[in-house]
């Protein structure tokens, strides 16, 4: 820690001297060969060297990357070497220190990734602040003192974070956060780190990203993280970035791969096997990929498709164009799982699928044939009356008589909607929609939207095919 403190204070002095800082920075680290080689390896790594020529001196690296970036690379390199080379630690304490450093390193990369749309200077500030977020705890474990051994054993027996904090306060008389804050103030480690430690709830992008990156990194480092806890933090981070959770997960997986490469460049390969496990994100992604797609009502898409149908009526578009536009509006706009157009057979005794969209469309096209010869025939009534029907609960007393075993096996158990296709007062088929795969119920508002689309489809077909 004294070596790290000395490096930080030297860099702080150089930062105040714009004129001579470049040359002095090179000279100040030249006597430390290991540090120099680490800085150059990192400066030439994929994270920092975007296709430029290799740099061979610290001064040249500073010209190419800027003083602030090289300053942070220096601090990171010195922090990692100082802590990784801690002497006289018991195996459990050293293991705890390595895991903490790996978590902090991943959090630093995550926080930087979260601010990738901001300027590089802020990204670097956030990287170093996240890396040093647990500096007090790292410093404590690196001492290897008797208290460290005692606290390690005590923390192993704790069942949650609250218990751990109580044990830390009992043995140390303070918290790790206060230790970090004290060191950050004493060493002049910058406003971003001080704010992130003293006001973690502040809503500015930099403080929010540091807080969330550390929280997510901590959860992912657990052997069996609580899915709801992870999901909550991912939602908060995705909301901050204005992206979907799945997109955030993919960015985080890419970030995890970049973190491994950067750890190697810093000569800290020992951290790699302890980095938070991105497989927790992949498992979740695979589960979501295999889960049925849930489409929610989308008013913007509804309006777009309704306008397209109006154009179809004006331009007298063909049957397929009208039906495809209608079904797309139902699927993406109204938010059903599947929908299709069933046409009457020449003898008018069967309804057969013609165009089907959504989950399980192929199966529906093969199997969804409705026979119109049962005594109680819901589809027959709809055709005869030329009337839409909303079967909100097929198992209820109201609809039970209509649900013969054959029909029951085809329609959704949570409800479905039908509307006759009519041209020149003659029914030619039926529009059908349900939410079979997600097993969600349909509402009256959604039936109203369904009816609106079906009515407009009939207007289009009459304009195209009627006389």
pLDDT tens-digit series, residues 310-344 = 999 999 999 999 999 999 999 999 999 999 999 99
> Residues in the chain with pLDDT < 70?
1, 3, 12-32, 50-52, 283-292, 466-467
Distance of CA 212 to the CA centre of its chain: 13
First CA to last CA across the chain, in angstroms? 90
Distance from C-alpha of 354 to C-alpha of 457, rounded to nearest angstrom: 15
Distance from C-alpha of 163 to C-alpha of 176, rounded to nearest angstrom: 14
Question: Across the strands, what pairs with 429?
Answer: 343, 421
Can you tell me which residue has the tokens 């993919």?
250
Q: What is the largest CA-CA distance in the chain?
A: 96
What pLDDT score was predicted for residue 289? 45
What pLDDT score was predicted for residue 70? 81
Distance from C-alpha of 74 to C-alpha of 124, rounded to nearest angstrom: 12
What pLDDT score was predicted for residue 303? 95
Q: Which residues contact 376 (CB under 8 A, 6 or more apart)?
A: 401, 402, 404
Q: Are 200 and 180 in contact (CB under 8 A)?
A: no
Q: Are 318 and 465 in contact (CB under 8 A)?
A: no
Q: Which residues contact 348 (CB under 8 A, 6 or more apart)?
A: 372
DSSP 8-class letter at 334: I
3-state DSSP of 444-458: HHHHHHHHHHHHHHH
Task: Output the six-digit token pair for 72.
Answer: 């942070």
Distance from C-alpha of 140 to C-alpha of 93, rounded to nearest angstrom: 10
What pLDDT score was predicted for residue 58? 77
Distance from C-alpha of 120 to C-alpha of 126, rounded to nearest angstrom: 10
- The upper half-sphere exposure of residue 152, i.e. CA atoms within 13 Å in the direction of its Cβ, equals 22
């Amino acid at each position: 820690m004294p070596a790290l403190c000395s490096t930080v204070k030297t860099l702080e002095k150089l930062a105040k001297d714009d004129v001579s800082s470049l040359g002095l920075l090179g000279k100040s680290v030249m006597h430390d060969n290991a540090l120099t080689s680490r800085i150059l390896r990192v400066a030439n790594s994929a994270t920092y060297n975007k296709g430029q020529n290799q740099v061979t001196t610290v001064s040249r690296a500073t010209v190419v990357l800027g003083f602030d970036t090289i300053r942070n690379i220096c601090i990171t390199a010195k922090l990692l070497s100082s802590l990784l080379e801690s002497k006289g630690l018991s195996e459990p304490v050293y293991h705890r220190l390595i895991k903490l450093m790996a978590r902090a390193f991943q959090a630093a990369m995550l926080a930087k990734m979260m601010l990738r749309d901001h300027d590089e200077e802020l990204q670097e500030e956030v990287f170093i602040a996240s890396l040093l977020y647990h500096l007090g705890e790292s410093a404590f474990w690196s001492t290897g003192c008797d208290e460290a051994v005692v606290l390690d054993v005590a923390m192993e027996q704790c069942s949650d974070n609250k218990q751990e904090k109580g044990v830390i306060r009992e043995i140390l008389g303070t918290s790790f956060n206060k230790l970090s804050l004290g060191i950050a103030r004493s060493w002049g480690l910058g406003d971003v780190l001080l704010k992130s430690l003293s006001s973690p709830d502040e809503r500015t992008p930099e403080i929010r990203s540091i807080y969330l990156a550390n929280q997510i990194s901590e959860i992912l480092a657990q052997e069996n993280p609580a899915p709801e806890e992870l999901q909550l933090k991912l939602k908060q981070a995705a909301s901050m970035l204005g992206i979907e959770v799945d997109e955030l997960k993919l960015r985080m997986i890419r970030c995890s791969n970049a973190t491994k490469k950067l750890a190697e460049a810093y000569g800290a390969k020992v951290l790699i096997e302890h980095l938070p496990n991105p497989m927790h994100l992949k498992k979740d992604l695979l589960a979501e990929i295999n889960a049925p797609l849930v489409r929610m009502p989308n008013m913007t898409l509804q309006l777009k498709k309704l306008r397209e149908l109006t154009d179809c009526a004006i331009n007298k578009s063909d049957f397929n164009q009208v039906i495809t536009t209608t079904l797309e509006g139902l699927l993406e706009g109204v938010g059903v799982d599947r929908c299709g157009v069933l046409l009457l057979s020449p003898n008018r005794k069967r309804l057969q699928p013609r165009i089907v969209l959504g989950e399980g469309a192929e199966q529906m096209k093969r199997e969804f044939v409705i026979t119109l010869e049962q005594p109680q025939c819901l589809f027959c009534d709809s055709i005869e009356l030329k009337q839409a029907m909303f079967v909100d609960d097929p198992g209820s007393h109201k609809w039970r008589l209509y649900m013969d075993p054959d029909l029951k096996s085809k329609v959704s158990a949570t409800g479905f909607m039908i509307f006759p296709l009519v041209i020149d007062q003659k029914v030619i088929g039926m529009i059908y929609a349900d939410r079979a795969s997600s097993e969600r119920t349909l509402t009256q508002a959604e039936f109203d939207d369904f009816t609106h689309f079906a009515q407009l489809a009939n207007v289009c077909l009459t304009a195209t095919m009627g006389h």
